[in-house]
Structures are given as structure tokens and as C-alpha cells.
A = this chain, B = another copy of it.
Amino acid sequence: MADSLQQENIQPDDEEHGLNRNRILDAGAAYIENYGLRQLTMRKLGAELGVEAMALYRYVPSRDDLMDGIVERVINDLFQDPEVPGDAANGWQDYLIRLAHGLRRLALTHPQVFPLIATRPPEAPWIRPPLRSLRWTDSFLAALTSSGFSDKPAVAAYRGFSSFLLGHLLLEVASHGADIGPEESADPSKPRSATDLTAFPHIHRMQAQLSEDRSAEEFEESLEVLIERIGLLAES
């Protein structure tokens, strides 16, 4: 019974009110972002879409595939990002920088989904999170080789690049209050208990610096260093 009062849809992606794989995937991503990964349940997601849990199974073979679909879909958003070029027309440095920033943007937009991107088992051993799709991997390698890299250094660059991104972004996202954990977001009953740091004098002393968020600058600097290092790889 569809009463005229429609609950506000967070992401009116596709127009039809019927179900649809992409609608499910998007709703799943949104749900994770709002309530955390642990809360994502077939029944709850169904309810979110105004449908019974089993209805989802017509479009998604299992919960695990649902999650894989979600990460795939989120990753493919990168192709929509106008700041991320499809090839290295402006040089490989430009390509890498823009790709890295695109991924960082993506991670910060989906802080709860990102750990999923990072740790879901890859379908092939050579696609490395967070790049995570044959399409992107190929695009990356194409960009480098088209810029004069030969195969071996291109692969080396691919490895260094993904490793750097994974480490940095996972940590940035985790520090940004991305409780992978279960529940509470707005429960002020936990005053964080201010753990007793007397046993850890260095942490205690540097607490200010440790709490400071320098992720953005660190990202830029490390990325710069990485690119420089990749540049050295070019001739070999």
C-alpha cells in the first residue's frame, strides 16, 4: 500500500520505484555509512527499500556478494569523478596525483565502506586494494606504459602506489572516527574514560601532537615522495 507520503529517499539513483540491483547496492552502501557494517542485514536493508528480505535475493546471490557488489559499485564511482582522468594525457605524474586524490576523496566520502574495500578478498591475486578492479588496474598500467614506462617498472609503480594508498587511507579513515565496530554513534554515555597514561610517559607527553590531524599534509608529502621514487624507476 503505497501511501502518498513517501519517506525521503537518501539517494534517488534510478528512477523506477521497483527494485533493481544498483538500487540495492547503493542502499547498502548508504546503510553501511549510516549504521555501520555490522548492522547491514538482509532484512534491515530490505526494510529500508520497503521490501521483504528475500526480495533482495532475486538481484544478489548472497550477503557476501552483496558486499562485493557494494565495493565494486563504490569503486566504480571513480570513473564518474571528473577530476580523475582516464589516461595519462597530461603526463603520468598528473594521472597519479589525480587518481590518488580521487581515491582519497572516495575514502573520505565512504569511511565505513572503505575498510571493506581494503579487506575483501580480491578476485585475483594481482588486483590490489584499494584500486580493486581489473578496469582500474588496467587503466593504471595503461597510463604508465603510455608514458614510456616499460612493464617491470609499471608494475613496481602499481605496487608502491596501491600499498601507499591502502596504508594511508585506511589509517586516515580509521582515525576519522570510523568505528568498524558495532553500534553507537550518538551515545554520549561513554566519556571515553580517558585512559590512564601515566604508564606511558611518551604518549602522555606527545598526546597533543599525536591527536593532531595532519593526514592531508602527510598525504601530499608522501605522495610526492612516492612519485619521485616512481620517476626513478622509469629508466630500467
Contact = CB atoms under 8 A, between A and B. Distances in A.
Contacts of A200: 134-135, 137-138
Contacts of A203: 126, 134, 137-138, 141
A103 interface: no
Given A123-B195, A151-B209, A155-B209, 19 more contacts: A64-B181, A64-B182, A118-B170, A119-B174, A121-B181, A122-B174, A126-B175, A126-B210, A134-B203, A137-B203, A156-B218, A159-B171, A162-B171, A163-B218, A164-B167, A166-B167, A166-B170, A167-B168, A170-B170
Summarize A's interface: helix, strand, loop or mixed.
Answer: helix
Nearest to A126: B210
B171 A163 contact: yes
Nearest to A219: B163
Pick from A197, A206, A211 the residue with the most CB of B within 10 Å. A206
Identify the interface centre among A126, A199, A229: most chain B CB within 10 Å of its CB: A126
Nearest to A201: B138
Interface string A46-68: 00000000000000000010000
A17 interface: no
Nearest to A197: B134
Contacts of A225: 225, 229
A200 to B, nearest CB: 4
A183 to B, nearest CB: 10
B209 A152 contact: yes
